[in-house]
Structure 1
């Protein structure tokens, strides 16, 4: 945050995402390895509705029953 938030240190994560460390990967995983630190975004989508096809995950018709509130 370029010094904008007092107390922030390199590596700190903002928001309500969760952070973790990869402890195991499957055979088809190519970009992550054991020990990598990851941040997972809270947005969920079905991947098939109009909004998901247009990368508007927070408006997903199928996983967010209150999506119309966010349209405003």
Structure 2
């Protein structure tokens, strides 16, 4: 699961549904990607970082973790 990404979305006050709309995908698709069931495309990765904060490290933002450290 992408805990850091989910945290950054929540921190900015977005619901998953609202953020999915901004990222041009369905809510179900975003949930599947956040849970690691499907992969993000490179264009989605770049758009998501741009929507959240262009200064965020891609390595940190899209680090897959099995559980919160």
Q: Tell whether the structures are fold-level matches, with TM greater than 0.5.
A: no
Q: Which has the larger radius of gyration?
A: 1
Q: Which one has a larger percent strand, Structure 1 or Structure 2?
A: 1
Q: Which one has a larger percent helix, Structure 1 or Structure 2?
A: 2
Instruction: Calculate the TM-score normalised by the size of structure 2.
Output: 0.20
More relative contact order, 1 or 2 (CA 8 Å, 6+ apart) = 2
